[in-house]
Amino acid sequence: MHKLRVIFDTDPGLDDAIALLFLLGARDEIELLGVSCVAGNVGIEAVSRNARIICEWADRRDVEVYAGAARPLVRHLVTAEHVHGKTGMEGAPMHTPSMALQAAHAVDFIIDTLRREPAGTVTLCPVGPLTNIALALLKAPDIAPRIRQIVLMGGAYFAGGNVTPAAEFNFYVDPHAAQQVLHAGIPLVMLPLDVTHKACTSARRVAALASLPNHCGPLAASLLTSFERHDVKKFGQIGAPLHDPCAVAYLLDPALFQGREVNVEVETDSPLTQGHCSVDWWGTSGRASNALYITEVDADAMFARMAQAMINLP
């Protein structure tokens, strides 16, 4: 079977950690070319450490992890320790990773990989603020046509915001980067809150991971339990929306999802609504579509797919 060749761009982050374990478990379907880290949920040092810890949980010290942007393109950095804890992975068994951080900057890794690999063979899967992707496109515009597809977690429209009433966190942290990426002319799939809020944890779904006969399954279950504590309080519902794993699930099985090709514009100026996605769902703007905007998921099948992948982990 032809493997998908993926660069995973991330700001771990508890749901990022689940997504990366999910991706590492799908070793037969995905060739991970590298992990590029971006400041978001917590600062760049912490996310770069966390990404290596996650790889070591999966006994994958072969994965190349790169540190990227320490702040957004224009705005000051806003982080989310209140959700993910000071370490960025509250509740997780932390250790000092033995695998080294790669010397190159993540943006240069993205550029060099896209220039080296055959055009149209590399998929970018960003699940944090889009700063690294935007910087790579600004520094090396020639890479845009070489990108097979961008499958990103970010944005919101029908679901409203999660960091302000108007904006989802990844797009709020770096709205300029999001607008830049959305206008790069690259085939792009968005997994916004409109779909991730339909893929929530539950006692049954967490138990399915906790009962896996390995180390990473129960570990993922404990991360989910830690992750959901914030959202249960905030949304007053049982279970937390599992954002970043939706992007990995889409990579593996797009048929689990449904959406519409629409025009998406990101507000970059208004202090009240920066990061807001103006999604032209009814085609009233006359603007060209620039994203496959996903709004539906078969959540049971997605969680089953995640457990099926994670059983391959140590």
Residue 175 binds which entry of Ca ion, ligand RIB, none, CB below 5-8 Å type-dependent: none
Q: Which is nearer to ligand RIB, 143 or 293 (CB)?
A: 293
Residue 131 binds which entry of Ca ion, ligand RIB, none, CB below 5-8 Å type-dependent: none
Q: How far is the CB of 120 from ligand RIB (least distance, A)?
A: 26
Cα separation of 258 and 13, whole Å? 26
Q: How far is the CB of 230 from ligand RIB (least distance, A)?
A: 11
Instruction: Identify the active-site residue in 84, 176, 243, 276.
Output: 243
Q: Which of residues 99-138 bind Ca ion (CB under 5 A)?
A: 127-128
Q: What distances in angstroms separate CA 282 from CA 53, 171, 178, 261, 287, one per listed residue? A: 44, 22, 22, 10, 11
267: tokens are 């507000």
Q: Which is nearer to ligand RIB, 129 or 259 (CB)?
A: 129
Phi/psi at 149 (5° precision): -170, 150
Residue 13 near Ca ion by CB under 5 A: yes
Q: Which is nearer to Ca ion, 11 or 90 (CB)?
A: 11
**How far out from the chain centre does Cα 8 lie?**
8
243 is a catalytic site residue:
yes
Interface ranges with ligand RIB (CB under 6 A) = 11, 13, 15-16, 40-41, 127-128, 153, 162, 168-170, 243-244
Cα separation of 175 and 170, whole Å? 8
The closest of 119, 12, 134 to 65, measured between CA atoms, is 12
What beta strand segments (E) does 136-249 contain? 147-153, 188-191
Q: How far is the CB of 193 from ligand RIB (least distance, A)?
A: 6
Cα separation of 10 and 19, whole Å? 9
Per-residue burial over 60-75, b if 16 or more Cβ lie within 10 Å, else e, is beebbbbbbbebbbeb
Residue 179 binds which entry of ligand RIB, Ca ion, none, CB below 5-8 Å type-dependent: none
Q: Are 36 and 16 in contact (CB under 8 A)?
A: no
SS3 65: strand
Q: How far is the CB of 83 from ligand RIB (least distance, A)?
A: 7
Q: How far is the CB of 283 from ligand RIB (least distance, A)?
A: 26
Q: Which is nearer to ligand RIB, 46 or 127 (CB)?
A: 127
What residue is closest to ligand RIB based on CB? 169
Q: Which is nearer to Ca ion, 16 or 231 (CB)?
A: 16
Region near Ca ion per CB under 5 A, out of 14-22, 105-113, 214-222, 288-296: 14-22
285: tokens are 């703007």
Residue 245 near Ca ion by CB under 5 A: no
Q: Which is nearer to ligand RIB, 42 or 252 (CB)?
A: 42
Residue 64 near Ca ion by CB under 5 A: no
Residue 231 near Ca ion by CB under 5 A: no
Q: How far is the CB of 154 from ligand RIB (least distance, A)?
A: 7
Cα separation of 44 and 37, whole Å? 7
Q: Are 193 and 277 in contact (CB under 8 A)?
A: no
17: tokens are 């950690």
Handedness of CA 128, 129, 130, 136 (dihedral sign): negative
Residues with catalytic annotation?
A: 243
Residues in contact with Ca ion by the rule CB under 5 A: 11, 13, 16, 127-128, 244
